[in-house]
Structure 1
């Protein structure tokens, strides 16, 4: 036991250069270091100085002692340990031990201690490795993306190397470790991707050798950690791959991502990273719906914000989507956190997309073909539906509802060119009178004799005239020729203009001008019109 303690004391006494408060002791010790030149053999323990005139790879050769071992610490000034080496039996050569290390330009100090017999070094041709020192964050080696990076563990037991890269635009980054490194049982090889504020990916060669994430602009660091059980002075390699982001917004790495209504967000759940968190403001009593796509099963949990306690509390709502899924829950209004995780047994990334929606109408399910147009107009406050949370998409739309919806369009204004006239079926006591009046005064509609017929259905031809006049549309590109619309028809010009903008495409070559417009088809007509004028 005494021998072990004494040995530890001796190792620690030579393991670093002593420093006084004013640095004078350090300077005094360094000034006495013995110059050590290439190919010269040293046989005495002590402190040696090596001047590196340009970045080079050094091959140190130690004669193995018959008992115990010889040790060497390489430092660059005080308290900056670059490498720690000692003779070993792990190389199956009892006569000598060879270490390689690549050093940047500068002056280094080698502390030789323990049972030294002899040691020498020479400069060799080897550039496929990291240049030391890069054991500290401030010495991190800049790396190029999409290029294989080579390094070496500079010690018998453990070594940490740091690298860095900078993104000038957001990218998908994939960190991949070389699987051929772990040739001996018990050796471990890991990597961490992080920035100054947080750890982003945590890889382990034996568990997760490759993982990806979406990164914003900034500087990032990679920490390579080597722990050797049977190997020593081993080489490693890894790559940082860069690729474009998906076309959708992506998850935030800095915290919770806001999940806006009907906006898809892409994410990556990694066994080498953390779970993803999304925040949702559920502002109405409509069902809470999540749409997800994934390549493997995910686990999604829901937490609800407690305003009084000021934290998210767990709810009983969890589900495990796989592939394309739709999850619906009846939830009260409030702020929710959606947590996306993966099964710990899955050792690879799971890319996914997630979208939150609050379904407004119970008769417009997620697979309704015109749901997106209906939901869009509802979100913009243009349509309200009926009091029982129904839209009645297949019902024929009434003329009065068309004028009501058009009048709710943000910024929609009509210039009067004539006074309102009296109609037998509507007067100023009617709830729709003030809505319909501007359309007549602007010449958009004329009524039929003494009747407005505002409670009647609207034909497709009539709707074409209203849209063209209300938005002052002119002939655009090439119009579509419909089999059932003749140039002599009174509505021909309006239908032609709509078709030239792609607002209508008809069906099987027909426009069906006299067919009543359904509420769902009106939503399609209007959304295409808004896209055209905007």
Structure 2
């Protein structure tokens, strides 16, 4: 059911609950962001915790600022829809920069048509409807708008469509929208579509005027003569004349009033609105009203499902002097991040913010706020819509900066690291954006960027500056009239330098990782280039790499590990010892001093590997792919009684290691080669060994150690890195892994032992 605008009187709402809350300071919420978007528009994001935790986005608009305006964004045609950010960016141009936007009016999601009154510069964009139900959002003729004098208001209105025929006045129910039961609707050429689209259950009268009708506005009167009549029950399609309008009626009351109309008779229709809204810059019908005179004032049934639902919400509010406008959105349906609010909670929150009046806008999944981010003139999404993406909407409200782009005033550069610099260290700058005094983005011209030093203690090369002298300095980044500076402190050595390691006693042939920590006088980390930290070994105890990895020699001894940074040196004592062991080698070709005796004995004692009949182990003999399957199947205790034939052509069921090969293949530990071959007698490479152990023991992790002969994208790169990450391999002293080299029985034993005991 639709209702005539003037049938509702705001003062008769007896059920509206009015409740005052004191305006508090910002203690009731946390401010996460606070950014000026233009000279008259401020954006803030809050975390508000009351019944639920909510994320609030807020645009404050100062209508007194000479370069600030608030406009309504309407799509073309009126029934098209677009996302808030897309619509805002389509309306943004030099001298009319959209710096913030929020979704606005309710709309029919099936047709795209706005549901309520919209006017722009006194022209009627959409006639709108009202609901008869007090449980609906909009059952009261209330609008937000900017009046002729530039002030904002939230107030009731009386939109009047008056038809004069045969010296009688008739109050028509609607303009350029679908005719419902018991209604009289006026269709003008401003309607989307060329026909009325009304059903046959009514009368339609075509009235042509002397001049084309190119707009509809408040205060307008159209007078013409009837040129065509469509009778009740007729299915004739009635087109709206470009120089006139159509009266379409349904229901006994209206049919009885106009059934005697005749062709040639004169009919007039006028559109008007109450004086307060006449000649307004724009009007947007919405609802319900939420706040009036600084108190909660909700013009709908607050017990209805729409009002009590905890959901995303949008609203527009004004100050008592009508010169400040506030766009506020509450995200919702996002779990613990932001739950949403009921209408009562929303109204109470707006009262807390100190607003004089507020009216509800379309919310739920339509709730969207966009802002102009620094470094761009484009409007981007600022909130988190509940759908996970921006919903297309019908109309938006746009905070506008009319300031023209002017000279640079704001510059933003950042450093890749901050802190006290060691002599010789470097910092690289990044120029993020340049803006004028009104926060309009300025496209960066690299030739205008000047980086300099106040005291010439740094050398500047492009965007990188390097500490060249000890002392205090300041680096300046200039872009015409805009400047930003960074303080620089340069020292010749750290105030403290310390060495840390996992141990200070190591067996011969073992490894230890050393690291250094450098701090300035304030106890903060000192900035230096990695190449500035040097490691040396004192004494014949081993070698140390540039990354601090120490490898002990094969003879016992004592010495020092020395770290030097700048002019400061520190050292720690290290002792290399022979491994204490009572192990006796069971093999004639493996001595008791073999560095891998422990691993070989362990695997032998557990039955994972065996020697030969002549009591040898043959440690340097290459391991075959078949023997690798045997060792892995034994170590993992794989079931060999019910294997599935993997179908390798060169491993028949009669092969002596058929079950072991089948078991590791079934477990997806070892795969075959091309042409469905396993190549049991083929030698196992170190890369293949890495893949087998990674699969067998589900090794994960990525090592910071990079082997020079394992290039990015190499098929076994991840497996080799996983071995290094789990301290199963260290590679060779020259920084290589030698992935294609065959693995020996001794080395496979070591890697298998470490995988078992990782």
Larger radius of gyration: 2
User: Normalising by the residue count of structure 2, what TM-score does the alignment of the two structures yield?
Assistant: 0.25
